[in-house]
Amino acid sequence: MEKRFQPYTRLAAIVFLVIGCLWVLSPFLAAILFAAAITISSWPLYERLLERMKQRRTLAAATMTISLVLVILVPLAMVTWNIADNAGHVYRGVREALDAGTMAPPEWIKQIPLVGESVDAYLHKLIGNREELLALAKRYMEPARRILLGGSVMLGSGVAQVSLAAFVSFFLYRDGQTLLNALRVGMEKVMGEHAHPVADTVSRTVRGVMYGLLGTALAQAAVAAVGFLIAGVPAVALLSVATFLFSLIPVGPPLIWGGATIWLFNQGSTGWAIFMAIWGVFLISGVDNVVKPMLISRGSSLPFLLVLLGVMGGVLAFGFVGLFIGPTLLAVALGLLRNWTDTASE
């Protein structure tokens, strides 16, 4: 009787142990998953660096971790600080303009075809009616400030998550080969001959999605920086980093270059504003259609709907790093499903 129930008791013990471990690690699960995705996608680079450093794993892991901090963490911290600081300045400036009665609609509104004159007349009428203007400001200013501050808080939590992910990635780089060998043995015992194709699908998919997301974001940020410099938009570095971050969100970059276009119109630079709009539509946003298919490996591309659901669900589930984790997990699941259906059809 004892021998009959022994396998079930072992399975129950393993299940409870796994649940307990996940429960303990749940506060850090997002950072661990992000660190794993970064480590898998950059493992070939780490191996080349390890060879150059004569197999000194600690030094190579430290170099990769510092590079991760410089490439992702420092720009993210800069953007977070600037958003939080500028949100307060903008809010106070608008409040002071409302109290002093010096607010006026920008001149470029009149130049909008068909509706420009009527919109400008309505805004002048609204500004002239102090009671209605104050009521409208009270209705929308506070929610807008909360949204901006909420975004900065999310970015702040992203800084903390990326910091923890960088810390975890150091150990994944340094001890990655040992972990990989143990994982390979465990998968072979569980899956048998299917272990190698599954592991290959997971690693290829993770690399493809991470290359696609980060490569496209870097390309769009670089193209945006060139456009901002040519058009004379200030704070090019900050806007470029913001473009990089918003590139991870579907239809995100137009929020940045569109804001720059509106600013140029407001400054009276109509020609440069038109240039910025054309540059944004055909070059900044066009990069997504050219670079991403080149970078994402075969079989790991995601339909637009799954990318959107992955980004939104990832942010809701994991916070800022969910921008990376959500699409990656969906891509891995889709890749495994395709691999399983191809195998089953044979």
Tell me the per-residue pLDDT of 258-281, one tens digit each, with 9 for 90 and over: 888 888 887 878 889 889 999 988
Per-residue DSSP letter, 297: P
Q: What's the whole-number average pLDDT of the chain?
A: 76
Torsion angle of the four alpha carbons 170, 174, 175, 181, in this order, in degrees rounded to the nearest 10: 120
Range 90-112 burial, b when 16+ CB lie within 10 A, else e: ebeeeeeebeeeebebeebbeee
Question: Residue 251 pLDDT > 70, yes or no?
Answer: yes
Measured CA to CA, the distance from residue 244 to residue 215 in angstroms comes to 10
pLDDT band with cut points at 50, 70 and 90 for residue 170: very high
Which of 20-34, 181-195, 248-262 is least confident? 181-195
Both structure tokens of 264: 């140029």
Position 118 scores a pLDDT of 76
User: Of residues 301 and 34, which shows the higher confidence score?
Assistant: 34
Amino acid letter, residue 10: R
Residue 149 has pLDDT above 70, yes or no: no
More confident residue, 220 or 93: 220
Q: Which residue has the tokens 């009428």?
A: 125
Average pLDDT of span 115-128: 70
The mean pLDDT value for 203-212 works out to 76
Q: Check the CA dihedral 84-87-91-96 and report its sign.
A: positive
What average pLDDT does the segment 90-107 reach?
63
* Spatial separation of the C-alpha atoms in residues 147 and 331, rounded to whole Å: 30
Residue 165 contacts residue 321 (beta carbons within 8 Å): yes
Residue 202: its pLDDT value, please? Answer: 75
Q: Residue 308's closest CA among 283, 326, 290, 288?
A: 326
Global pTM value:
0.67
Which is higher by pLDDT, 144 or 221? Answer: 221
N residues, the chain: 346
Percent of the chain whose predicted confidence (pLDDT) is above 70: 68
